[in-house]
Structure 1
Amino acid sequence: MDSDGFEIPEGLFCYDVNGSCPKSIRPNSKRIPIYAAIGGTILITVCGNLVVIISIAHFKQLHTPTNFLVMSMAVVDLLLGSMVMPYSMVRSVENCWYFGDIFCKVHSSTDMMLCTASILHLCFVAVDRYYAVCNPLQYKAKITGFVVMMMITISWMLPAVVSFAVIFLGLHMKGVEEFYNNHTKCTGGCVLFLNEASLVFGSMISFYVPGVIMVCIYGKIYLIASKQARAIKGVANKAKEASRSRISRNRERKAAKTLGIVMGDFLLCWFPYLFCNIMDPFLNYRTPPVLFEVLVWFAYLNSTFNPIMYGFFYIWFREALKIILFGKGFQCGSSTINLFSD
């Protein structure tokens, strides 16, 4: 019964209490395919990134600065697929949050942290590729094991501190508490509600500024790589050593191109959600919730696409996948197998 004495039909709300969020009413003919599609996406995300992590960790030939950054980024995507996406799936399909208010904050903080960590990893990968392609003679001196470890540490620690501090200290709600309590808050909901300052500052720091930096870096890499390619093409075949150096440099350019495509995929997947999110406060929070759900899943797909692109562009990924699937990775000395010719 509601406050006016009218009976509330069963199943229309997340909980049988006053102020409960309305539940999504979908027949099983729609609910089951949606769960199957999202569940399949989560499985591909987890398994694909797990293969990337195992491959780079196991095979010594893949122990390079770039690949360690790629492996750390794959860990970010793996955690997103295993710790964030399953709970988001239930929330999206049912329009209800059944896991409690505290875990809602943990989930939102983790989601924000992993999104920011992804783009910071991509930023550092861009820096790594810049030195490899544009300053190859300084590459080993500049990009040392210590430098890579610092890059990875910053990519994890900075987003973790900022994300959890913003959510658990309530900084994201300053000045909009009354609006949230009157128009959005309900029992059984888990909405990442951000004020204008949090949205603008957070989006600029975690997406727009790094995105512009990466575009500029990869633009310069592309120009220099194109110039090098033309120079190499114009030089006649020389000694074997020169040929070996040319192959090595071609590999560096190909790696830069591939990782540039990975970066472009990230920007394409996340931009619609972040643009809609940053505009929402200025539209008086009128964006339909269902649109947010669709856009956030489109953004999550970035973590699904990354290992698929590795498989398409990198021969080492395909070879490592074969070795892992056929159980050859457990054989003695498998870590020294050549996945590609030097």
Structure 2
Amino acid sequence: MVLLIVAILYGNTIILAVLLRTKHFHTPQGFLKISLAVADLALGILVVPFSVYAEVSILFTNASFLDWAKGVSLGGSWHPCNVIGPIFAGCTLVSITTIFLLTTERSIAIFKPLHKESLITRGRTLLLILLSWLTCFFLALAPVIFSHGGIVMEYDHCSRMCIYAPASPTYDWHILLLFPAFDFSLLAGTLLMNALCLATIRNHTRRRRLLAEKGHRLPRLSFSDIKAAKTIGALTIIFAASFSPVAVFVVGNVLGYKWCTFSFLAFWILASNSCCNVILYSVTDQHFRRRAIKLLLFSRGHFPSHHSTNPSLEPSILDMGNSKL
């Protein structure tokens, strides 16, 4: 758990530092990636550290898991899961929604390249980001608020996470099935749009090659648009693969199945996804990779100063860093 915290904090801090300090990334797509990194960073700052705290507390105080699940380990009826649980659920929903928005932005760039600048603006993107955060956290809190105490957040001894649970065994909590239904619908739409984008890119490349052989020219899609579409496609597949086990567990849990080992693997696979994006961006985006290497070298004091008498050293150091990566 501690190693995962370090990986999440380190990876997403690099993402935010590169995106915020590089004007090249101050675009609607860049803002959406910043939103995704902030959601992942929240898991590394709040959600996973609480699991570490709970495990250490239970270990050294000899408290039972039941005490943590019922919220009495800290005294009174309040429990930290009342905060940590909605943050985990809300940030997960934000990640799904942001990936959907990223895919929508790329779809417009691929299908309507001439209208991209007018349809996708910074103001509209920032507004959508704000609305997505408000909506997702409202959805995360809705089961607890509107169940009137029927659904609570508990520290689960199987998953080692704060999850939704019925306050009594007889409570009908099938309303939680709306979460996987919403998530799978959004992911299915996202995967479909990604498939259409990649198919359009492939057909465009084939048509352009055929017309070039006949002496005709077809306006080519921007290389950056094609690269971004492939990156977001990979991002969607990775997230869908890491989130699907949790959705399956939620459905099974509501229907009465108890999968202890599976729930542990499902939730921690999802948490581990929060440190993967920096690797994906570094592999698929050369500009991001160079800026990240430059930032890391500078932070370690290995980067030449602005007063260096040999300015040609900078490209060589970047190339050396790229080869090591």
TM-score above 0.5, yes or no: yes
- Following superposition, the deviation at residue 44 of structure 1 comes to 1.2
Counterpart for residue 280 of structure 1: 253
Gaps of 5+ in 1: 1-37
Residues 189 and 143 of structure 1, relative CA distance in 2, 3 Å threshold: closer
Counterpart for residue 323 of structure 2: none
Counterpart for residue 64 of structure 1: 27
Counterpart for residue 277 of structure 2: 306
Q: Does 1:249 align with 2:249?
A: no
- Following superposition, the deviation at residue 64 of structure 1 comes to 1.4
Residues 111 and 189 of structure 1, relative CA distance in 2, 3 Å threshold: closer
**Separation of aligned partners in 1, 2:161 and 2:287:** 44
**Separation of aligned partners in 2, 1:51 and 1:255:** 19
Counterpart for residue 50 of structure 1: 13
Q: How does 1:226-265 map to 2 (within 5 A)?
A: 226-236=202-212, 246=220, 249-265=222-238
Deviations along 1:303-337, one digit per CA (max 9) or x if unpaired, are 111111111111122111122112269979xxxx9
Could you tell me which of 186, 190, 193 is aligned with 2:165?
A: 193
Residues 92 and 314 of structure 1, relative CA distance in 2, 3 Å threshold: farther
Counterpart for residue 144 of structure 1: 121
Contact 1:311 1:317 in 2 (8 A): yes
Contact 1:323 1:329 in 2 (8 A): no
Counterpart for residue 269 of structure 1: 242
Size of the aligned set, in residue pairs, is 283
Residues 151 and 190 of structure 1, relative CA distance in 2, 3 Å threshold: closer
**Separation of aligned partners in 1, 2:4 and 2:36:** 18
Contact 1:52 1:74 in 2 (8 A): yes
Residues 308 and 189 of structure 1, relative CA distance in 2, 3 Å threshold: closer
- Following superposition, the deviation at residue 190 of structure 1 comes to 5.1
SS in 2 for 1:102: coil
**Separation of aligned partners in 2, 1:64 and 1:329:** 29
Contact 2:252 2:258 in 1 (8 A): no
Residues 131 and 200 of structure 1, relative CA distance in 2, 3 Å threshold: same
Residues 123 and 330 of structure 1, relative CA distance in 2, 3 Å threshold: farther
- Following superposition, the deviation at residue 134 of structure 1 comes to 1.3
Residues 287 and 222 of structure 1, relative CA distance in 2, 3 Å threshold: same
SS in 2 for 1:193: strand
**Separation of aligned partners in 1, 2:204 and 2:84:** 46
Could you tell me which of 200, 218, 221 is aligned with 2:194?
A: 218
Could you tell me which of 62, 72, 88 is aligned with 2:51?
A: 88
Gaps of 5+ in 2: 167-171, 308-313, 319-325
- Following superposition, the deviation at residue 189 of structure 1 comes to 9.6
Does 195-204 or 144-153 show the bigger shift?
A: 195-204
Counterpart for residue 23 of structure 1: none
RMSD between aligned residues? 3.4
**Separation of aligned partners in 2, 1:278 and 1:55:** 39
Counterpart for residue 318 of structure 1: 289
- Following superposition, the deviation at residue 299 of structure 1 comes to 0.9
**Separation of aligned partners in 2, 1:193 and 1:329:** 55
- Following superposition, the deviation at residue 166 of structure 1 comes to 2.7
- Following superposition, the deviation at residue 285 of structure 1 comes to 4.2
SS in 2 for 1:236: helix
Could you tell me which of 125, 132, 143 is aligned with 1:166?
A: 143
Residues 173 and 329 of structure 1, relative CA distance in 2, 3 Å threshold: farther
Counterpart for residue 19 of structure 1: none
**Separation of aligned partners in 2, 1:235 and 1:292:** 54
Counterpart for residue 310 of structure 2: none
**Separation of aligned partners in 2, 1:278 and 1:234:** 49
Could you tell me which of 100, 107, 117 is aligned with 2:84?
A: 107
Could you tell me which of 126, 136, 139 is aligned with 2:103?
A: 126
Deviations along 1:106-145, one digit per CA (max 9) or x if unpaired, are 0101011000000000110011000111110010110011
Residues 153 and 191 of structure 1, relative CA distance in 2, 3 Å threshold: closer
Contact 1:173 1:193 in 2 (8 A): no
